[in-house]
């Protein structure tokens, strides 16, 4: 089984060196205690920005640095614009998207979204989403934590399309404009249960479209399946060479 991973602030490990001893933040130390990490048991600290530090606790409960690695960004960097949906399904989707390996999450106030984020609710949801991505980063042993961006309207989302190498919209009907991507930045647009409106189709007119088989997925599932499909087809998850498929485990 792989070593347990604990997420720390980048500043905490910015000056870490081999064989240095780190006094862990109380929250991390408590988490390790809950996880029953024993002295000399190998575990890892990650900063959410690609740095992975392997080490172990000493008898005093301090972290001893044994190895430092900086992991490059993946060749395919996927942001998901997820339409707002009801209940905890949106949070479940965020958890799974983090495990899969997306790099960013954009809450999208779509034309057919029943849920609207306004005022104090934005800050409350941002805090909740941050906690979800941090926990999912640790569970999936990632060194990169997805960035949660501000909520956007459809028009605001359309203005961001040019900042990506590829823009892909998930659609129910057969998508014949998907040419395939192997690298670069990707914006994957996932509509609400009511689908993407005619106005939004015009706004996203230059985007490629992709249909995920014959089944129609729920909104919170479609993004996870779509991102997994893109990672697999691009070779980012290389299952044919005998390597481990990144992002999948039985943990």
Q: Tell me what the mean pLDDT of segment 227-235 comes to.
A: 91
**Cα 6 to Cα 27: distance, rounded to the nearest angstrom:** 10
pLDDT in tens, 89-136: 889 999 999 999 999 999 999 999 887 776 777 788 888 889 999 999
Residues 108 and 192 placed together within one structural domain of the fold = yes
In this structure, what are the phi and psi dihedrals at residue 60, rounded to the nearest 5 degrees? -80, 0
CATH number for the domain spanning 15: value is 2.40.240.20
Residues 195 and 134 placed together within one structural domain of the fold = yes
CATH number for the domain spanning 99: value is 3.40.1280.10
> What is the pTM (predicted TM-score) of this model?
0.88
What's residue 176's pLDDT?
A: 60
Chosen domain end from 52, 70, 88: 70
Q: Tell me what the mean pLDDT of segment 39-68 comes to.
A: 96
Do 122 and 90 touch, CB atoms closer than 8 A? no
Residues 58 and 109 placed together within one structural domain of the fold = no
- Tokens describing residue 170: 């998930």
Do 206 and 161 touch, CB atoms closer than 8 A? yes
Residues 98 and 66 placed together within one structural domain of the fold = no
**Cα 103 to Cα 185: distance, rounded to the nearest angstrom:** 9
**Cα 180 to Cα 141: distance, rounded to the nearest angstrom:** 28
Binned at pLDDT 50, 70 and 90, residue 246 comes out as very low
**Cα 209 to Cα 206: distance, rounded to the nearest angstrom:** 9
**Cα 39 to Cα 88: distance, rounded to the nearest angstrom:** 38
pLDDT in tens, 137-188: 999 999 999 999 989 999 999 999 999 999 999 988 765 666 788 899 999 9
Contacts of 78 (CB under 8 A, 6+ apart): 101, 102, 103, 104, 186, 187, 188, 227, 230, 231
Please give the tally of structural domains in the chain.
Answer: 2
Do 144 and 100 touch, CB atoms closer than 8 A? no
Chosen domain end from 37, 70, 103: 70
Q: Position of tokens 């048991």? A: 41
What's residue 243's pLDDT?
A: 41
**Residue 62 belongs to domain spanning:** 4-70
Residues 48 and 154 placed together within one structural domain of the fold = no
User: Could you tell me if residue 18 is inside a domain?
Assistant: yes
User: Could you tell me if residue 10 is inside a domain?
Assistant: yes
**Cα 215 to Cα 67: distance, rounded to the nearest angstrom:** 46
Distances in Å between the Cα of 229 and the Cα atoms of 115, 127, 226, 241 are 27, 29, 5, 17
């Amino acid at each position: 089984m792989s070593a347990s991973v604990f997420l720390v602030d980048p500043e905490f490990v910015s000056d870490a060196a081999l064989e240095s001893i780190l006094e862990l933040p109380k929250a991390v130390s408590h988490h390790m205690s809950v996880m029953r990490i024993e002295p000399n048991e190998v575990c890892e600290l990650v900063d959410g920005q690609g740095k992975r530090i392997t080490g172990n606790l000493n008898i005093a409960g301090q972290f001893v640095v044994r190895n430092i690695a900086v992991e490059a960004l993946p060749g395919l960097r996927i942001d998901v614009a997820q339409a707002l949906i009801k209940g905890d399904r949106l949070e479940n989707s965020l958890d799974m998207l983090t495990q899969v390996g997306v790099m960013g999450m954009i809450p999208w106030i779509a034309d057919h979204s029943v849920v609207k984020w306004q005022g104090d609710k934005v800050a409350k949801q941002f805090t909740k989403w941050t906690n979800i991505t941090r926990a999912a980063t640790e569970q999936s042993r990632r060194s990169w934590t997805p960035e949660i961006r501000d909520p956007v309207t459809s028009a605001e989302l359309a203005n961001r399309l040019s900042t990506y190498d590829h823009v892909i919209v998930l659609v129910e009907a057969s998508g014949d404009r998907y040419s395939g991507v192997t690298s670069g930045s990707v914006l994957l647009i996932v509509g609400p249960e009511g689908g993407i409106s005619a106005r939004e189709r015009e706004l996203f007119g230059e985007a490629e479209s992709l249909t995920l088989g014959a089944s129609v997925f729920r909104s919170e599932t479609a993004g996870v399946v779509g991102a997994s499909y893109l990672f697999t087809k691009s070779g980012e998850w290389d299952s044919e060479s005998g390597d481990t498929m990144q992002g999948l485990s039985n943990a």
